[in-house]
Amino acid sequence: MSPVSSPASHGQSALRTVQVLGGGNAGSSAHVRSLAAGLVARGVRVTVCAPAEADRAYDFTGVGAEHVPVPRSSDPVSVAELRAACSHADLVHAHGLHASFRAVLALGGRRTPLVVTWHNHAHAEGPRAHLLRLLERRVAKAATVVLGTTSQLVDRARRRGARDARLAAVAVPRPRAAGYEDPERPRAKVRAELGATGRPLLIAVGSLHRHRGHELLLDAARAWRRLDPVPLLVIAGEGPLRTVLQWRIEDEELPVRLIGRRDDVGELLAAADLALLPGSWEARSVLAQEALHARVPLVAAQTGGIPEVVGEAAELVPHQDAEAFAAAVVRLLGDPERQEALKEMGARQAATWPTEDENVAQVLSVYDELTQPRPLT
């Protein structure tokens, strides 16, 4: 950990921060845990306001933060609970658009600095698109500083009226991004457990919601059924589309398995021949980063912040084009040299991403800029 001054080292009282998290996708939740750990290590007092299930999954208290259970809701009771938790904070940092909006409501007219991080490219259609723009405008104008995880999000915040918007790309926490293979569970054993012995293994990870593009993967799977041996696509994740997807898999006899939510994604990736990302509005896709860290060739749709994150270190195809996606997978499976090139390019691209330590240092510098020195109490 690089040396960064903490409030206590300058004879000041500890900076008190509140981190506000909504439902929290994997990327933002893991980032808040990483940020909380780094801030606590630097002498900052951290309270995480998040639903109870988020603390159970990410153990914010385990890294030294206080957890206050607050539902992902903008109803008056939830906002009042959040207001109480923020009442003694020197600075509030909200993650995600909805969490940021609730933080704006909770702070009201207080002069407490509000930092918001936009992790994802929010997307809506029809009347909801207008509501989304209003929500973004309200948050952008109320925030002291907006941190965007890609340059596209920074530009979006500025268009919505942010007075101060900055780039703050977040890192995938290294404990999950490194050390993929459990020595007691080697690659061949994982492949055998999944039913991929003697055939290519393709991995996709993400909640089973429509915007994730899993239906496109099933369309694409028809094309690679003609390969010999037939690749197996394994999709890790849970969600409302599971029944529909399973019905299609069985009805069309597709070489696809749904394996539900998993906590061994690193090992699954280590065992895979290719990682697939058919659609994601995450600004910095966790799967994309983990695949490149694990030296697994990635085929991804050009959505969200994917091009900015992976550069030329992945096979990128047009969004919502099942034929192009299928062709890219088939082409890559038949080109071992291209696979090796992508592994090397992926490792080099991953080396350019910020580390967790650099993330914490950058965020803390923003906090220091927005808060005044406090005398000893």
Q: Identify whether residues 315 and 251 lie together within a single domain.
A: yes
Give the total number of structural domains in the chain.
2
Q: How far apart are the first and last CA of the chain?
A: 28
240 located within any domain: yes
Tell how far CA 98 is from the center of its chain: 15
325 located within any domain: yes
Q: Identify whether residues 193 and 250 lie together within a single domain.
A: yes
Q: Identify whether residues 189 and 244 lie together within a single domain.
A: yes
Q: Identify whether residues 161 and 226 lie together within a single domain.
A: no
Q: Identify whether residues 313 and 363 lie together within a single domain.
A: no
377 located within any domain: no
pLDDT per residue as tens digits for the range 26-39: 678 888 999 999 99
Tell how far CA 19 is from the center of its chain: 16
In this prediction, residue 249 carries a pLDDT of 97
Q: Identify whether residues 138 and 185 lie together within a single domain.
A: no
Do residues 178 and 249 touch, judged by C-beta distance below 8 A? no
Among the listed residues 364, 268, 34, 9, the one whose alpha carbon sits nearest the alpha carbon of residue 172: 34
In terms of DSSP H, where are the helices of 111-195? 127-142, 151-159, 174-177, 187-194
Do residues 12 and 375 touch, judged by C-beta distance below 8 A? yes
Q: Tell me how far apart the alpha carbons of residues 163 and 250 are, in angstroms, rounded to a whole number.
A: 53
Q: What CA–CA distances, in Å, run from 238 to 13, 156, 221, 279, 338?
A: 44, 30, 19, 16, 32
pLDDT per residue as tens digits for the range 60-92: 999 999 999 998 888 899 999 999 999 999 999
Stretch (H or E) spanning 258 = strand 256-260
> Which CATH number is 330's domain given?
3.40.50.2000
Low-confidence ranges of the chain (pLDDT < 70): 1-12, 23-26, 172-185, 280-283, 373-377
Q: Identify whether residues 17 and 102 lie together within a single domain.
A: yes
Q: Tell me how far apart the alpha carbons of residues 83 and 188 are, in angstroms, rounded to a whole number.
A: 52
In this prediction, residue 375 carries a pLDDT of 52
Is the pTM higher than 0.75? The answer reads yes
Q: Identify whether residues 366 and 310 lie together within a single domain.
A: no
Q: 3-class secondary structure for 177-242? A: HCCCCCCCCCHHHHHHHHCCCCCCEEEEECCCCHHHCHHHHHHHHHHHCCCCCCCEEEEECCCCCH
In this prediction, residue 67 carries a pLDDT of 96
- The answer to whether the Cα torsion of 316, 318, 323, 324 is positive or negative is negative
In this prediction, residue 2 carries a pLDDT of 45
88 located within any domain: yes
Q: Identify whether residues 158 and 25 lie together within a single domain.
A: yes
2 located within any domain: no
Q: Identify whether residues 192 and 298 lie together within a single domain.
A: yes
Query: Hey, what are 177's tokens?
Result: 């991004």
Q: Identify whether residues 72 and 210 lie together within a single domain.
A: no
Q: Identify whether residues 201 and 88 lie together within a single domain.
A: no
**Domain range spanning residue 150?**
7-171+354-370
In this prediction, residue 330 carries a pLDDT of 96
375 located within any domain: no
